[in-house]
């Protein structure tokens, strides 16, 4: 007897059962073995077979950590008219499937730690030709990224941005300015895992030590001479963080690995210009000095005095300064 024959079943916890595992009783397992063997050899085919036996009487369904993904999601879940609670946590899902809208009785949807089990160098691959970003709707489910624009309303301008030929204003204490082109400026970048920046430097201008928590940066110099570098993560007890530096001239390329502290300094007497690509549609920037001494509310001066092994008066002075953000 299969699960679909248990008409009264209201709660099913199938946590940890992957799409290549069968939800059936002992008598059914032999008859289904050949069918599942052929499916396992083709992992990109929908695992709908594995979930064929869900009874329509279900009120609560938990499929935590079942290796479900956007490209292989069981459509049978849409045939649960009484379902009130659904837990999809810890699966490889970047967006909710359309059939969720058909669960009219659904009151509770848990989507914790989605994509947490995926191992990849960048962002998840897109599942369609494009997903042009739109502003998040009010009271909508929060997603890791942006909502998609109706494909029928997408236009060429959604994939276009101008102005990177215009020098940025470097009249600030740092003598540099970063002009980004990420998903917030160019909605057509949504789901593609790439973005771009132009960086202008006045003579002796500095793009101060910072990190990009979600992206590796590949920088190339167009004008001027830059001293660049990055610092490795903590190597171990009684060892210092290793610094890699290089002097770059026009045409030179340098890579700053994801998450590592890096900087660029114009060592020339003329303006400098660089362009950089990043492996995220929204790589983020944490400028070290701004984050440590300019946070709101401020970090306790006791904490910073001990961390930097300096007097609290020095910390208080640093926290009283205006920390310029050169990202526009």
pLDDT digits (tens, 9 = 90+) for 270-320: 999 999 999 999 999 999 999 999 999 999 999 999 999 999 999 999 999
Q: Are residues 199 and 271 in the same domain?
A: yes
Does the annotation list 10 as a binding residue? no
* Same domain, residue pair 216 and 313: yes
CB atoms inside a 10 Å sphere around CB 67? 18
Which helix (H) or strand (E) covers residue 292, if one does? Answer: helix 288-293
Q: Are residues 17 and 107 in the same domain?
A: yes
One domain for residues 100 and 183: no
- Do 36 and 113 share a domain, yes or no? yes
Share of the chain above pLDDT 90, in %: 51
Residue finishing a domain among 119, 144, 167: 119
Report pLDDT digits (tens) over 142-169: 566 788 888 899 999 999 999 999 999 9
Question: 182 and 113 in one domain?
Answer: no
Q: Measuring CA to CA, which residue among 282, 257, 128 is closest to residue 193?
A: 282
pTM assigned to the model: 0.64
User: Looking at residue 224, which CATH number applies to its domain?
Assistant: 2.60.120.10
* pLDDT-above-70 percentage for the chain: 75
> Of 84, 119, 154, which residue sits at a domain end?
119
Q: Is 120 annotated as a binding residue?
A: no
Q: 70: domain CATH number?
A: 3.80.10
Residue 190 counted as domain residue: yes
Q: Are 94 and 118 in contact (CB under 8 A)?
A: no
Give the residue numbers spanning the domain of 276.
176-320
Query: How many residues can be counted in the chain?
Result: 328
What is the CA 315 to chain-centroid distance, rounded?
Answer: 33
Residue 210 assigned to a binding site = yes
Beta bridge partners of 199: 178, 274
The answer to whether 90 is a known ligand-binding residue is: no
Residue 212 assigned ligand-binding role = yes
Domain count, the chain: 2
């Amino acid at each position: 007897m299969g699960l679909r024959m248990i008409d009264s079943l209201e709660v099913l916890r199938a946590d940890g059962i992957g799409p290549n595992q069968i939800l059936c009783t002992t008598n059914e397992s032999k008859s289904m073995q050949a069918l599942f063997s052929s499916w396992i050899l083709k992992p990109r085919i929908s695992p709908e077979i594995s979930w064929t036996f869900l009874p329509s009487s279900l009120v609560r369904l938990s499929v935590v950590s079942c290796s479900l993904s956007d490209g292989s999601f069981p459509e049978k879940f849409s045939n649960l008219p009484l379902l009130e609670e659904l837990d999809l946590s810890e699966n490889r899902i970047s967006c909710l499937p359309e059939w969720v809208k058909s669960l009219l009785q659904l009151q509770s949807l848990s989507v914790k730690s989605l994509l947490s089990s995926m191992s990849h160098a960048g962002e998840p691959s897109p599942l369609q030709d494009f997903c042009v970003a739109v502003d998040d709707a009010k009271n909508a489910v929060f997603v890791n990224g942006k909502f998609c624009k109706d494909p029928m309303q997408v236009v060429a301008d959604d994939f276009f941005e101008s102005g990177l030929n215009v020098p940025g204003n470097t009249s600030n204490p740092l003598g540099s300015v970063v002009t980004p082109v990420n998903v917030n400026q160019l909605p057509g970048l949504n789901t593609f895992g790439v973005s771009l920046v132009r960086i202008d430097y006045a003579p002796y201008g500095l793009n101060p030590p910072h990190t990009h928590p979600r992206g590796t940066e590949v920088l190339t110099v167009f004008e001027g001479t830059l001293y660049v570098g990055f610092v490795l993560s903590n190597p171990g007890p009684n060892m210092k963080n290793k610094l890699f530096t290089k002097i770059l001239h026009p045409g030179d390329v340098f890579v700053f690995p994801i998450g590592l502290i890096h900087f660029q300094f114009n060592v020339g007497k003329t303006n400098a210009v660089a362009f950089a690509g990043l492996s995220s549609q929204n790589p983020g920037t944490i400028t070290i000095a701004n984050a440590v001494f300019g946070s709101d509310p401020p970090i306790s001066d006791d904490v910073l005095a001990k961390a930097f092994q300096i007097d609290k008066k020095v910390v208080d002075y640093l926290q009283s300064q205006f920390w310029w953000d050169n990202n526009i």
